[in-house]
Amino acid sequence: MTVIRQPGVVSTDHVLQVPLDHAAPSGEQIEVYAREVVAAGREGDDLPWLLFLQGGPGHKAGRPLGRDGWLVRALDDYRVLLLDQRGTGRSTPANRQTLPLRGGPQEQARYLAHFRADAIVRDAEAVRRRLLGDEGRWSLLGQSFGGFCTLSYLSLAPEGLREALVTGGLAGLGSSADAVYRAAYPRVARKNHGHYARYPQDVAAVRRIAEHLRSAPARLPDGGVLTAEAFQHLGMLLGTGTGSHTLHYLLEEAWVTGVTGPELSDTFLAGAQAQLSFAGNPLYAVLHESIYGQRSVDPSGTRWAAQRVRAEFPEFDVDRALAGDGPVLFTGEMIYPWMFDTDPALRPLKEAADLLAEREGWPDLYDPVRLAANEVPVTAAVYHDDMYVDTADSLETARTVRGLRTWVTNEWEHDGLRASGGQVLDRLIRMARGEL
């Protein structure tokens, strides 16, 4: 067991073997890793535990550099556990290097079908029993997709929870993938219009880049291909508090004059790659639409919903925009099948991803009856016009979960937990305690 001391915190590693399929506990085992973090000097205190479930899917938990970010507030009261959800970080990895060991695309897809929220909750329960004992209960903080997992936790194993805190992650319990994206494209369009109102010079800058890429896709430093549609995916930035500014500064340095004339700069291409590459989180792309799959909602599967629904919103078509004089719109967190051709980290997983997209009859992730009878205190920050999670869905879910209290705010964007330095978390804690 490794113990690390950083400024203001002490971290301890925990590794646990869990079943790949919790319905077959004696079958294949994988590892899950979690990092226990406690305030320096309080290692021996009897503190309540707070499990953190990261956004995603397919993202590892954050790596603290000391008492930073939301940990500034959390460590006042809790012993925090940062879980690397299965397939990510120091848990048994699932990526282009490891998945071929499973066999071909069929075997890879069958394996990855066990990496959704229901399995993550069962993993967390195994860790809880190891650390707290069968009767111990912990608090839960779910950010974004971690909030989706929180709703699954309340549906599958509420007996393990003493309270739940959710930031930007109240999923629509009965929303299909088609419905999710049908609601998402207009929100993304609004974020685009907000960006262009803030930086009107970017209208011409983006059109110039898109026109160039339409005729001459660029090679990224990692061997990936920057097409006009891949360039649009930089709109992922627009859902965070500082993302619009980050995008603008990237566009400012898009061009240099080389020996053959103007060309996209290495600085720009490296910056675009840093935002677009899935090398560090391939499961985000592979599993993204499957997080909405539920047999009671849409038994036919997700079938690349973002790509199909996009046709209903022609304002996102690059050629249509370039044929006129309006802005080229960026897209959001949508995952498209062509990404598995342009990104080297995803190419080897293309066939498995296609099989997951066509998979039918995904098990349900939420139990509305159990949620309606919920007895666990739940508080949730709902960000007004959140680009990633539909506000209307979130509020409808809040009405479904018994006793859930919401705080609707436009002070923060989707990354409010991280960006607020503990302010968002502090409010949710005080709400859970009845102080607000």
Please give the positions annotated as active site: 144, 386, 414
- Are 414 and 147 within 8 A, CB to CB? no
Query: Tokens 């103007």 identify what position?
Result: 262
Reference 392, options 244, 174, 164; nearest CA is: 174
Can you tell me the distance from the alpha carbon of 390 to that of 147, in angstroms, rounded to the nearest whole number? 13
Can you tell me the distance from the alpha carbon of 304 to that of 316, in angstroms, rounded to the nearest whole number? 17
Can you tell me the distance from the alpha carbon of 190 to that of 180, in angstroms, rounded to the nearest whole number? 16
The stretches of 292-422 forming alpha helices (DSSP H) are: 305-310, 318-323, 339-342, 350-358, 368-372, 391-400, 416-419
Query: Tokens 């909405």 identify what position?
Result: 292
Can you tell me the distance from the alpha carbon of 283 to that of 166, in angstroms, rounded to the nearest whole number? 22
- Are 262 and 252 within 8 A, CB to CB? no
Pull the structure tokens for residue 321: 């925009």
- What's the one-letter identity of residue 427? R
Those residues whose C-beta lies under 8 Å from the C-beta of residue 188, and which sit 6 or more positions away, are 235, 238, 329, 330, 331, 332, 387
Cα dihedral sign, 286-291-293-295: positive
Those residues whose C-beta lies under 8 Å from the C-beta of residue 272, and which sit 6 or more positions away, are 220, 226, 231, 234, 250
